[in-house]
Structure 1
Amino acid sequence: MSRLIHAVSGPYAPPVAARELTAVSADGARIHVETHGPEGAPAVVLAHGWTCSTAFWAAQIRALSADHRVIAYDQRGHGRSAAPADADGYSTRALADDLEAVLAATLAPGEKAVLVGHSMGGMTIMAAGGRERVREHAAAVLLCSTGSSSLVAESLVVPLRAGRVRTRITRSVLGSRAPLGPVTPLAKRILKYGTMGAGSAPEKVDACARIVHACPTLVRHGWSHVLDTLELDVEVGALQVPTAVIAGLDDRLTPVVHARRIAAALPECVGLTELAGVGHMTPIEAPEAVTARIKEVVGTYVQVKEGA
């Protein structure tokens, strides 16, 4: 499990959950889940990305939980969810299984929610989008800063011309087994370059660095291989619910070309939002814009029964 070293004060400190529970996935993996906000309110499910945790959504949880039921969970190996027991536990199939388990544990039969995924969380939703038990609960989807294939080849983290050399170096950087170590000024500068816009405020960089550095090295490496071999282009076409897409124009990890490709392939795209000056960590870099888009999608597609 991750060492929880996230911010403990300020807007990026995770709020206390109204309820915590454990969802059990198809292979027995135990997934940590927390809920915020009033029962019966419109539901939002938040799936974070690679090397992150529920703490990544602190700003959205604070802004939404007054009048939404917010469900956030730790992807396997992240936060308080146990790491996969073996290599088979690292796959998009496993991520989709986990999402199914979370929805079953938190939503009533037929209850609808907006599913929001950042980076690997978006890949989770794409991988699961064609499953009946996910369609049962998905009123709409918001994909943030994500991609469906060619992640390493199209990454701009390594400042070289596209080609085999850049791809090979990028693969070695993203798949490194080296521990990230403590959160130092140098570590924050490196993380900011790779994952955030140049204008990101110091408190936002610090919040991201604390979350990312908490991810265990073996877990980070295990998921890096899945991202390297990702192929979800077919699954994008199976995501047959209203789906919004949001991306930063300065994203080096999943450049905006990915968002544009996904938006063009979706059966029911309801808008692509491109954020100037924003990198990969959109929910922390541009919390107001991401939260506003979530509210718009919820308001349009989630209907709550009277007396619920």
Structure 2
Amino acid sequence: MSRLLRRDSVPPVPAAELTARSADGSRIHVELHGPEDAPAVVLAHGWTCNTRFWDAQIRDLAAEHRVIAYDQRGHGLTPAPGPGGYSTNALADDLEAVLAATLAPGRRAVLAGHSMGGMTLMAAAARPGLRAHAAAVLLCSTGSSRLTAEARVLPIRPGALRTRLTSAVLGARAPLGPVTPVSKKILKYATMGAGSAPDRVEACARIVHACPRSARVEWGHVLDGLDLAEGVRELRVPTAVIAGTDDRLTPPVHARAIAAALPLGIGLTELTGVGHMTPVEAPEAVTARIRELVTRYVTERSAATAEKEDVA
């Protein structure tokens, strides 16, 4: 059985939970795992997901890290916002609220975002909160623009028709319904690599199907018109990128473009045969990259700072 579903599929138990208040008053559900004084990691999930998407990373990291995970607005235990509450600015506002609520002034963390979570980090790139708290960033399976034009979920030729149909899929109001063998096959085709283990497909299906329809539709419209190219250029912290070679939602063309445009890019990792759900499909690879970033940009830099203070 995969690491994601060990211990009878019981989710990791947080050391604490809290509610952050965003700029518009929205309540953001936050989970805190691991020792309070350990090196910190902040995890932002993607469209139609929730904090459970990061279970494998939380399990592996929480023994030696302070892991902070939160539900994006309208997902999981975070309520849907009021009218006009869905936008990339709202994503940035929510992240700043989470950082302010969980990290003391001057404390830096590794921020990791998957899909819409990566877009959150790009949207917040120029925000004071991100610049004050981000030691390094990991962008997983994400894009900054042209999502519908580049997506390969629909097996037809690239062009205006495919783009229009993909836009319609993103904004479709039809309910996803229960998790069934057929729905799992559809989800696997659209979002995961062909070799994904059945238990990981099951886990992703249950997470995605639990997303409220209104949040799925409203965020789908935001993604349809996404343009965060400027956010990539403003992401002035060491930033690593991970993508699956078989990602149909955000194909590797996005990761390559982001990696090329980053001011402080520190490498692109392409995972062969992996689809869009990298933290679930390839949890060891994603967790290892997070650990590397923590060691290099949080632990070692903290030690170097302490040594300078001792000398002084």
Q: 1:167-206 maps to which residues of 2 (within 5 A)?
A: 167-206=163-202
Contact 2:149/2:162 (8 A) holds in 1 = yes
Instruction: Show the counterpart of 1:276.
Output: 272
Q: Does residue 49 in structure 1 map to residue 57 in structure 2? A: no
Deviation per CA, 1:128-157, whole angstroms, max 9, x where unpaired?
Answer: 011112100000000000000000010000
Q: Gaps (5+ residues) in structure 2?
A: 307-312
Give the 3 Å change call, closer, same or farther, for CA 262–189 of structure 1 in structure 2. same
SS where residue 273 of structure 1 aligns? strand
Letter in 2 for 1:214: A
Contact 2:5/2:199 (8 A) holds in 1 = no
Q: 1:5-20 maps to which residues of 2 (within 5 A)?
A: 10=7, 13-20=10-17
SS where residue 157 of structure 1 aligns? coil
Q: 1:277-292 maps to which residues of 2 (within 5 A)?
A: 277-292=273-288
Deviation at 1:12, TM superposition (A): 5.6
Instruction: Show the counterpart of 2:90.
Output: 94
Taking structure 2 as the reference length, the TM-score comes to: 0.94
Q: Does residue 228 in structure 1 map to residue 188 in structure 2? A: no
Q: 1:224-263 maps to which residues of 2 (within 5 A)?
A: 224-263=220-259
Give the 3 Å change call, closer, same or farther, for CA 250–8 of structure 1 in structure 2. closer
Q: Which moved more, 1:171-180 or 1:285-294?
A: 171-180
Deviation at 1:251, TM superposition (A): 0.1
Deviation at 1:14, TM superposition (A): 2.1
Q: Could you tell me how far apart the structure 2 residues matched to 1:153 and 1:241 are?
A: 29
Instruction: Show the counterpart of 2:18.
Output: 21
Instruction: Show the counterpart of 2:37.
Output: 40
Q: Of residues 109, 116, 123 in structure 1, which corresponds to 2:112?
A: 116
Deviation at 1:185, TM superposition (A): 0.4
SS where residue 279 of structure 2 aligns? helix
SS where residue 182 of structure 1 aligns? coil
Letter in 2 for 1:293: R
Instruction: Show the counterpart of 2:162.
Output: 166
Q: Gaps (5+ residues) in structure 1?
A: 1-6
Q: Could you tell me how far apart the structure 2 residues matched to 1:160 and 1:67 are?
A: 46
Q: Could you tell me how far apart the structure 2 residues matched to 1:108 and 1:171 are?
A: 41
Instruction: Show the counterpart of 1:132.
Output: 128
Q: Could you tell me how far apart the structure 2 residues matched to 1:23 and 1:108 are?
A: 14
The number of residues matched between the two structures is 299
Give the 3 Å change call, closer, same or farther, for CA 280–250 of structure 1 in structure 2. same
Contact 2:33/2:62 (8 A) holds in 1 = yes
SS where residue 20 of structure 2 aligns? strand
Deviation at 1:168, TM superposition (A): 1.1
Deviation at 1:11, TM superposition (A): 7.5
Contact 2:22/2:28 (8 A) holds in 1 = yes
Deviation per CA, 1:237-258, whole angstroms, max 9, x where unpaired?
Answer: 0000000000000000000000
Segments of 4+ moved more than 3 angstroms:
7-13, 303-306
Deviation at 1:287, TM superposition (A): 0.3
Letter in 1 for 2:174: A
Q: Could you tell me how far apart the structure 2 residues matched to 1:255 and 1:11 are?
A: 33
Deviation at 1:8, TM superposition (A): 8.1
Deviation per CA, 1:197-224, whole angstroms, max 9, x where unpaired?
Answer: 0000000000000000000111100000
Contact 1:140/1:297 (8 A) holds in 2 = yes
Q: 1:78-89 maps to which residues of 2 (within 5 A)?
A: 78-86=75-83, 88-89=84-85
Give the 3 Å change call, closer, same or farther, for CA 143–156 of structure 1 in structure 2. same
Contact 1:13/1:55 (8 A) holds in 2 = no
SS where residue 136 of structure 1 aligns? helix
What percentage of aligned pairs have identical amino acids?
71
Instruction: Show the counterpart of 1:67.
Output: 64
Taking structure 1 as the reference length, the TM-score comes to: 0.95
Letter in 1 for 2:74: G
